């Protein structure tokens, strides 16, 4: 058994189980917690209601007793461009705390984690790595792409449409039609954003059954994978195989290699180091950039491609085909092991079924991975750019700074045409401590794209972005403004120079001038109470995962 009970404690627990109709014989089975993030506010987690009975049946038939326990399951999209967005990144650490607490308080023998979305997947995995009892994760699959008047849609298109509507370039009828049509089914938003990147992370780390990360939600195949996950978990419990018996640095490296090959979400550079930290493994943004130089970018779906979504990616072979192409080229570690087998087994012998969607490493979209880590006198530690979503002609950009202390101020300026072509917009005090909570700068960039100015304006911020963000957006500037990073001292009109190829972000301020501007400086302190105040007090920087657990 994973847990050790004395007779009195076990009987005390069982007395409470009997109250809910659990028999004396069933109470002798290993109790497996189904930690379920299902709720009615999140389409990514909504499908789990359909699969609970199957999971419980499989676990019971294999010799375990499955009991369902709720865990928070937030959706970033629900609170986008509201004060609630400050809670989304901090919710990751909250979820990890819930998983840890439920597992330890209830003395679970194993956990089946049900999760799909941006912060919930990494939060649950952080908790699983802390607890280190037999665990698998089953993710919710992707939603269908939307369509309106023959054009492909995803959730992020609604933000672009709003800017176009506000600017008089789109009728109200068409704008509302896009909103109604953007999300036609439950599941993860069908672009290469954080949700699908994190579902892939769960599979590549070894927690999910092969094929789970790129399966359509609520399909027959999705249900079959759920049953496979349940059966495998009972075997892990019976054999007492824990995550850290299997998962090593090689698994985390494979996650980064896959991300680079697919132009995954910039949020991963917050989540992967935070997860690795729970396993006693140190990863920083420099590691991502090193892998970026080694692994070619071979697959592009929205926002890295105008029309391809997870539907096309799935038909081309999905994650397994990408892994197969990387294995063929020696660009991924085939011997890395997980709960379901090695990386070689994960590929299942797959290769791309559509070279337009998933290319070979010999014929890549670009010889380097889709994310880049920049440094310079604006970001002495690091900052992040998803250059897979940026036209090559914008990899160098120079312009005068236009400075805002919040995304909302910049967004309003964009809607009211106060930002012009050539500007480098600086949005600061939106980092982990400054906001606090490090909300998305997605709404501002969607307005830029909606106004057809994606090639005319750059953004530099200590905030972060949705994985669906397109355009020249540089985030995670570290140190952040709240901590006295140089971004706090940029003034309107300062010339900023971006050079993605050479990994550089610079402002024309001398060391002497910077020191002069720092004299007497005090940070802008935005209001925060409750959990956000606690998060501000305890969180690490974006360079170190923006986690309250980094130094614990």
- The set of catalytic residues is 466
Residues 6+ apart with CB under 8 A from 210: 203, 320, 340, 341, 345, 346, 348
Is-contact 271 199, C-beta < 8 A? Answer: no
Where would I find the beta strands (DSSP E) of 291-381? 337-338, 341-342, 372-374
d(CA 263, CA 371): 6
Torsion over CA: 523, 525, 530, 531 (sign): negative
Scanning 70-193, the segments in alpha helix (DSSP H) are: 88-105, 120-131, 156-166, 172-181
Indicate the SS3 state at residue 136.
strand
Q: Which helix (H) or strand (E) holds 424?
A: strand 424-427
Written as six digits, the tokens of 524 are: 């802008």
Written as six digits, the tokens of 174 are: 């068409």
Where would I find the beta strands (DSSP E) of 428-479? 458-461, 472-478
Three-state SS for 469-534 is CCCEEEEEEECCHHHCCHHHHCCCCCEEEEECCCCEEEECCCHHHHHHHHCCCCCCCCCCCHHHHH
What is the DSSP secondary-structure string of 159-203?
Answer: HHHHHHHHTTSS-HHHHHHHHHHS--SSSB-SSSSHHHHHHHHHH
Q: How many CB atoms lie within 10 A of CB 398?
A: 14
To the nearest 10°, the Cα dihedral for 231, 235, 241, 243?
A: 0
Q: How many CB atoms lie within 10 A of CB 228?
A: 19
């Amino acid at each position: 058994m994973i847990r050790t009970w004395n007779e009195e404690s076990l009987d005390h627990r069982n007395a409470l189980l009997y109250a809910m109709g659990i028999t004396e014989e069933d109470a002798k089975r290993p109790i497996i917690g189904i930690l379920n993030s299902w709720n009615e506010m999140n389409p990514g987690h909504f499908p789990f209601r359909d699969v609970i009975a199957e999971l419980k049946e499989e676990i019971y038939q294999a010799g375990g007793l499955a009991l369902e326990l709720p865990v928070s399951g937030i959706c970033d999209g629900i609170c986008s461009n509201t004060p609630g967005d400050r809670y989304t990144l901090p919710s990751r650490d909250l979820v990890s705390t819930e998983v840890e607490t439920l597992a330890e308080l209830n003395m679970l023998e194993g956990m089946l984690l049900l999760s799909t979305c941006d912060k919930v997947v990494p939060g649950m995995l952080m908790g699983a790595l802390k607890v280190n009892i037999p665990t698998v994760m089953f993710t919710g699959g992707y939603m269908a792409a939307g369509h309106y008047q023959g054009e492909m849609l995803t959730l992020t298109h609604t933000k672009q449409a709003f800017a176009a509507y506000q600017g008089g370039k789109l009728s109200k009828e068409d704008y509302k039609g896009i909103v109604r049509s953007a999300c036609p089914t439950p599941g993860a938003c069908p672009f290469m954003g954080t949700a699908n990147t994190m579902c892939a992370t769960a599979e590549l780390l070894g927690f999910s059954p092969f094929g789970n990360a790129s399966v359509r939600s609520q399909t027959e195949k999705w249900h079959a994978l759920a049953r496979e996950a349940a059966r495998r978990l009972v075997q892990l419990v019976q054999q007492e195989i824990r995550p850290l018996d299997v998962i090593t640095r090689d698994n985390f490296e494979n996650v980064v290699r896959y991300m680079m090959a697919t132009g995954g979400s910039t949020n991963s550079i917050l989540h992967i180091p935070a997860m690795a930290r729970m396993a006693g493994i140190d990863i920083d943004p420099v590691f991502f950039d090193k892998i970026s130089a080694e692994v070619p970018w071979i697959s592009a779906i929205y926002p890295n491609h105008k029309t391809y979504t997870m539907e096309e990616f799935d038909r081309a072979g999905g994650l397994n085909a990408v892994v197969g192409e990387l294995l063929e080229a020696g660009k991924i570690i085939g011997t890395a092991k997980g709960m379901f087998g090695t990386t070689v087994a994960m590929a299942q012998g797959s290769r791309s079924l559509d070279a337009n969607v998933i290319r070979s490493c010999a014929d890549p979209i670009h010889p380097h991975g889709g994310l880049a880590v920049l440094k310079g006198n604006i970001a002495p530690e690091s900052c992040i750019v998803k250059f897979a979503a940026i036209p090559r002609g914008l990899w160098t950009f120079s312009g005068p700074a236009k400075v805002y202390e919040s995304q909302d101020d910049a967004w309003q300026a964009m809607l009211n045409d106060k930002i012009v072509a050539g500007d480098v917009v600086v949005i600061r005090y939106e980092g982990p401590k400054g906001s606090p909570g490090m909300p998305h700068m997605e709404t501002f960039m969607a307005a830029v794209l909606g106004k057809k100015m994606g090639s005319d304006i750059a953004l530099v911020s200590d905030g972060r972005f949705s994985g669906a963000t397109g355009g020249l957006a540089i985030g995670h500037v570290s140190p952040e403004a709240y901590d006295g990073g140089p971004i706090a001292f940029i003034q309107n009109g300062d010339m900023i120079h971006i050079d993605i190829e050479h990994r550089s972000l610079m402002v024309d301020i001398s060391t002497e001038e910077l020191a002069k501007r720092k004299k007497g400086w005090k940070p802008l302190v935005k209001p925060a109470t409750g959990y956000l105040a606690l998060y501000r007090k305890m969180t690490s920087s974006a360079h170190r995962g923006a986690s309250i657990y980094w130094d614990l």
